[in-house]
Structure 1
């Protein structure tokens, strides 16, 4: 079953230069609860997340966030590294290295790519002098921070006996050597060696039984002249030569993170997975330190750092500061409840309503985020109607309506024309929702039994209507829906567009005319991913291969080019109040703006949001 494309951020339009004289400024809002690393430098605690970077001031708890609209190159950040000269570096899962000047708070970003031009994942980094050593998905990257403002000097794709272009999980500079932690073990090279491109110049230490039992290196930690190596099956210490010695008390334990504690540092600590949950151990001298955190929080701990107090990162609940051995407090970073967004919009009171696939309804009002639980079921799309009502189609539970006064209604097979699948009449899958110019709400049903692709609700009198096989529909695999004056359309899996002419009233089926249109009518693809009517009642259709508008007079599609560089996989379409067409793709946003005085002519403008390349699902 096709699912709506997932969004990873919200873009709120305020006013970016474009060729037709309007200026736009964007503000990003993301969820930052999925922490990927924690570190402490410059007097702050830094959390990297899948929604950007969070900076926490231990002195007063102030939280500062960095996103694309602030200059950060990407939001899916894997690490933060302090260069020691007023610069911090952030590496992303899509290969973007962002440099932050800590004084001016300004960013510079560089897109790093693999040998064939593909995207890399930047996993970790450490510094030595003018160089940044980056653990990546294809090996170790030696990045010159000074030359030409920053450039890749060399990439070491084969580390000794390890497989070529194996991913490096973590990297550490210690005692004049570079240590690379992989899924096969540890590779060691001399920092000053000019011949590290030769695999023979690397020393490799395999852990476990090769092929059958590789032990994944997860982290490094240096303390008191010793280098410790954390793995998914124990803690090791480097002997200074060519071997790693297991550390007593940590046999077979999964080491999630290593961190120095206290100020000045007097101990190295390990965040460890035990049978009793996540625990913190002091390595030398050994001590078992138990923080009695809530079970639901404990299960998600993945990182920690010390800056006057202990801070813990989690996989789904942000950063928490330890108050005592028995309590913690979350350091909230503003944003929606999730990054898996399916839609939303502004209500009649000017509040921004944002619906995520699995989490709460998020409401942005007066600069703050509030959260409301509507349903725990999976949400597939969302629409804020002109009267302020929020409509939320779901996977299996029909449709939810959140009225402007906060009241919640559920519609399913028992109280509406929505019907379920063949296996369970009460399991109602509604993929898409759309409002026509008269205020009626239209829904597309997936695999309804019997075939019922299209259902309509009229809020003016609370009446329902539906369209089925009697109207000519033959497929139940329906996706997106759109409706205009006298017509409606449904995107059908691998069949293009089912176009319905219902005449003056959708309740009168006597004059209904239905036709299926696909590539034979110049639709770019039979896989329809988005649809919308503009203010001239023209249907625009997005596919995985591009955009087209439909000429109802001749029943033909006319493909329309959008800005190059943002892909052809259309994920959303909206016509604004000036009848400009906004087109979201899997790589950016395009604006087709009508040229004044020349109806039908468009100027094309693209918005790529820095180096952002994440999917847009709703505008």
Structure 2
């Protein structure tokens, strides 16, 4: 595997601006080869930190990144680089490799070689079926061993044999398979080398010289915070001859009492509270001079004397969960917003000097609800259902822009899960409760709700639930609203005039997601009135060129499921998405497969136009003859070659039409592709670059296909690589660009003999370097002739082959 360095701002410049946020461009946007994957995961939320001599290694909910303070270089590593998962839970640096160890929720541990980029995944813990949970909480390297604090005890992994050497799951009087959240090595009360564990029920320790640490009798358990069963020992560290323990609450508890905080073990074995500024302590880190820890809203330090000081700053970290202290006073704190770079004075005072907030470029959050690529090539991304997460834009230059209430004061603290990018540069985002946000080309943000538009609020309040939105060919914005008693469809003219239109669905159904086709027909998914999570049919609305006058509108509802007798209908009335292909065919994604309809432009007026199920080109006897029938489909996108990209609960399929039906070209899942999750919520194709994006609840990735936008007119062809160097029995893929919409491509010898013939759809086609008989062509110069199938004429190119 190859890693690519990221361009970065010098970190030294960071210290010039207090409390500033800095990010680095994502190299995923750089032109990657066809067939390559790219990750666009959010790496703001830090889960763990590790330190090497020259860099910090940061585990996040979007993968891992390396940050070098000396020169500001930052490098991202994700599933596309070979990591097991996007959501890293624990991290440790091993200087003997050197290696970086990464732990995950399912028990898998990765070993990453920073020099070569190689990743090895170890499944030993994950494969075990002895325990219901396998989460890796902490990793720590000691000699030839890697110690893992897990959801069922401690696992000792032998780095040399690459196998689990030991596991300690019965710890004295604790329940078997107790959660161990942290561990450290420090002398036992008897002065022997010891292993100390922070567990869900207090502290446990054992001598490393014990004959058998699997034996429960080898372990001593000590209660910590007044034996409160709502509290857990979350962190532990040895400092200046004493053992310190950080107490936290169980995730299911709302405890907020005085027992939370920092404790120091006395020689008597009692744990004495150390005033530290209040709140839970999720992480501890010691250097030669001080002990540092995190508290609910910030950090604290403990001097060699044992006195603790709350570190104060106006820009305090937000519920931090990890911390590392350098000997020069640099402090690195991981929280939900990013990596906080701070500094502590060498002596005197308790001021935490926050220098900046660092994070790699990317979307604000990993839970992706919707995707849309506009005509300029921007990717517009809808955020999660969690309020405050906003929406995001991947710009044509490869950088991300996140629109959240924390960054834009005019943007409500809502969740925006319906998005659209307009041809003129506007971005629109619909929310659940806060109306519609508009971003102008100059980056001005304005929000529309019941107070400044026709958008109807639910129950008379200013709570505007947007079901869907889109922009028609004339630049008008169309919006559907839900939970309203009155108007459910709204149109905004280019001049800014809003008009409300009635709900034509009748009782029991409400308007939801919206798609506008090339004929300006509005396709509106219907949701059930009493449960917006259940779709119930699909409507088509033709406004007859008078969008603000409903009197002449034509309307039709498709609510009939598939009938085997006449072979028409939807595979299910639970409709999830609608789109249109390059031939004008309407495609519908449902919870039971996909359907297609030949679009006449007058569908609302013509009852004879019906949906049907696309057939596979060939099937075995007894198999379902219809494409993806019976599969829950979440979204569909069409690329420049008119191929279908289908997002499902079981990965992504892509297919194309051939003689006799449709052929599935590939099926991407987590087993053969770096998908963050098999449940793919949304898909969108960028026909300028060929990248197809897949959105999941655990992150966004892209796949670079060969399909790009066709040329508007014939021009000279681009052929690459050129020259082509072939081996004895293998050749690289050869790409021919500059094609029009539909093209016949011929590869000719200098004397005019045709050696290969290709059918092109979209702006690019691939040739495998073989002739009609499947043999690699010999060395020579070949003429490439592309003839447009719609009267565009011919275009020419040449390619040299070297054997």
- Normalization by structure 1: what TM-score? 0.80
Alpha-carbon offset, residue 458 of structure 1: 6.2
2: CA distance, partners of 1:42 / 1:169: 26
Match of residue 533 from structure 1:
580
Query: In structure 2, do the counterparts of structure 1 residues 108 and 161 end up closer, same or farther at CA, with 3 Å as the change threshold?
Result: same
Query: Relative to 1, partners in 2 of residues 1:414 and 1:94: Cα closer, same or farther, differing over 3 Å?
Result: same
Residue in structure 2 matched with residue 447 of structure 1 by the alignment: 483
Distance 1:70 1:139 in 2: 30
Deviation, structure 1 residue 447: 1.1
Structure 1 residues 290 and 146, CA gap change in structure 2 (3 angstroms): same
CA distance in 1, matches of 2:278, 2:448: 52
| 3-state SS in 2 of match to 1:69 | helix
Shift of 1:490: 0.5
Determine if contact 1:354/1:362 at 8 Å carries over to the other structure: yes
Are positions 1:108 and 2:127 aligned together? no
Distance 2:236 2:632 in 1: 41
**For residues 548-559 of structure 1, what are the structure 2 equivalents within 5 Å?**
548-551=594-597, 553-555=609-611
Asked if structure 1 preserves the Cα contact closer than 8 Å seen for 2:369 and 2:681, the reply is: no
Match of 1:317? 337
Residue 547 of structure 2 is aligned to residue 547 of structure 1 = no
**2:300 corresponds to 1:286:** no
**Contact 2:581/2:587 (CA < 8 Å) preserved in 1?**
yes
Checking the alignment, whether the CA contact within 8 Å between 2:49 and 2:334 is kept in structure 1 is: no
Q: Report the RMSD for the aligned CA atoms in angstroms.
A: 4.1
Cα distance, 1:500–1:465 mapped onto 2, change above 3 Å: farther
* Alpha-carbon distance, 1:13 to partner: 9.6
**Distance across 1 between alignment mates of 2:426 and 2:241:** 63
Conserved? CA contact 1:29–1:336, under 8 Å: yes
Equivalent of residue 293 in structure 2, options 263, 267, 271: 271
Render the CA deviation track for 1:197-256: whole Å, top value 9, x for unaligned: 55455433333455x54431121212455543322334445679x945436556986433
**CA separation of 1:293/1:495 partners in 2, compared to 1, >3 Å: closer, same or farther?**
closer
Q: How far did residue 581 of structure 1 move?
A: 2.2
Identify if the C-alpha distance between structure 1 residues 367 and 385 changes in structure 2 by more than 3 Å, giving closer, same or farther: closer
How far does residue 514 in structure 1 lie from its aligned partner after superposition? 2.0
Does the 8 Å contact 1:14/1:25 carry over to 2? no
Give 3-state SS (helix, strand or coil) of 1:109's partner: strand
Does residue 574 (structure 1) correspond to residue 637 (structure 2)? The answer is yes
Distance 2:130 2:400 in 1: 42
Structure 1 CA distance, aligned partners of 2:633 and 2:107? 24
Check 1:441–1:10 CA distance in 2 against 1; reply closer, same or farther (3 A cut): farther
Gaps of 5+ in 1: 1-8, 17-22
1:133-158 Cα deviation digits (max 9, x unpaired): 222233333333333xx344555444
Alignment of 1:301-450 (within 5 A): 301-307=320-326, 308-323=328-343, 325=345, 326=351, 327-336=353-362, 338-339=364-365, 340-343=367-370, 345-347=372-374, 349-354=376-381, 356=383, 358-359=388-389, 361-362=392-393, 364=395, 366-370=397-401, 373=408, 375-378=411-414, 379-408=416-445, 410-413=447-450, 416-424=453-461, 426-435=462-471, 441-450=477-486
Residues 471-499 of structure 1 show CA distances to partners (whole Å, capped at 9, x for unaligned) of 33333555433343446131414353233
Q: Are 1:610 and 2:627 an aligned pair?
A: no
SS at match of 2:361: coil
Check whether the contact 2:29–2:398 (CA below 8 A) recurs between aligned residues. no
| Change in 2 beyond 3 A, CA 1:270/1:526 | farther
Q: Secondary structure of the residue that 2:173 maps to in structure 1?
A: coil
CA–CA distance in structure 1, aligned partners of residues 145 and 313 of structure 2? 39
What residue ranges of structure 2 are gaps of 5+ in the alignment? 1-25, 188-192, 249-259, 346-350, 599-608, 615-623, 685-803
1:482 aligns to 2:478 (yes or no): no
2:55 to 44, 47, 58: 44
Work out the CA distance in 2 between the residues paired with 1:218 and 1:167.
Answer: 10
Partner of 2:152: 138
For 1:253 and 1:412, locate their aligned partners in 2 and report how far apart those are by CA, in whole Å. 39
Alpha-carbon distance change, 305 to 561 in structure 1, aligned in 2, over 3 angstroms = farther
Shift of residue 371 of structure 1? Answer: 5.2
Displacement of 1:382 = 0.9
| Corresponding position: 1:179 with 2:196 | yes
The answer to whether the 8 Å contact 1:417/1:466 transfers is: no
Which of residues 286, 291, 298 in structure 2 aligns to 1:260? 286
Contact 2:48 2:90 in 1 (8 A): yes
Once residues 408 and 79 of structure 1 are traced to their aligned partners in structure 2, the CA distance between those partners, rounded to angstroms, is 38
2:157 is the counterpart of 1:93: no
Q: Deviations over 1:287-325 (max 9, x none)?
A: 44454422x424544432123342232423322222464
Secondary structure, counterpart of 2:662 in structure 1: coil
Cα deviation, 1:438-495, whole Å, max 9, x if unaligned, reads 766543322122362x445565997756351xx3333355543334344613141435
Secondary structure of 2:120's counterpart equals: strand
Cα distance in 2 for residues equivalent to 1:586 and 1:313: 37
- Output the CA distance in 2 between the equivalents of 1:193 and 1:580: 64
Q: 1:144 to 1:438 in 2, by over 3 A?
A: farther
Secondary structure of 2:304's aligned partner: coil
SS of 2:129 mapped into structure 1:
coil
CA distance in 2, matches of 1:13, 1:157: 47
In structure 1, distance between residues paired with 2:664 and 2:472: 24
2-structure distance, mates of 1:78, 1:465: 49
Match of 1:3 in 2: none
The Cα of 1:34 is off from its aligned counterpart by 1.8
Q: 2:231 aligns with which of 209, 212, 215?
A: 215
Do the aligned residues in 2 keep the contact of 1:377 with 1:394 (CA within 8 Å)? no
Distance 1:410 1:299 in 2: 27
Mapped contact 1:92–1:121 kept (Cα < 8 A): yes
Partner of 1:66: 77
Mean CA deviation greater in 215-224 or 201-210:
201-210
For 1:472, the equivalent position in structure 2 comes to 505
Contact 2:185–2:196 at 8 Å: present in 1 too? yes
TM-score normalised by structure 2 residue count: 0.63
Tell me the CA shift for residue 44 of structure 1.
1.8
- Report if aligned partners of 1:389, 1:401 keep a CA contact under 8 Å in 2: yes
Structure with greater Cα Rg: 2
Query: Greater CA deviation, 68-77 or 352-361?
Result: 352-361
| Change over 3 Å in CA distance of 1:376–1:472 after alignment to 2 | closer
For 2:655, which of 587, 593, 602 is the aligned residue? 593
State whether residues 334 and 368 of structure 1, in contact with CA within 8 Å, keep that contact through their aligned partners in structure 2.
no
- Cα 1:29–1:253 change in 2 (3 A) is closer
Distance 1:312 1:489 in 2: 50
Give the CA deviation at 1:430: 0.5
Distance 2:246 2:46 in 1: 19
Instruction: Report the CA distance shift for 1:441/1:556 in structure 2 as closer, same or farther (over 3 A).
Output: farther
Shift of 1:124: 0.8
Contact 2:153 2:168 in 1 (8 A): yes
How many residue pairs match? The answer is: 585
Q: Which has the higher contact order (CA 8 A, sep 6+)?
A: 1
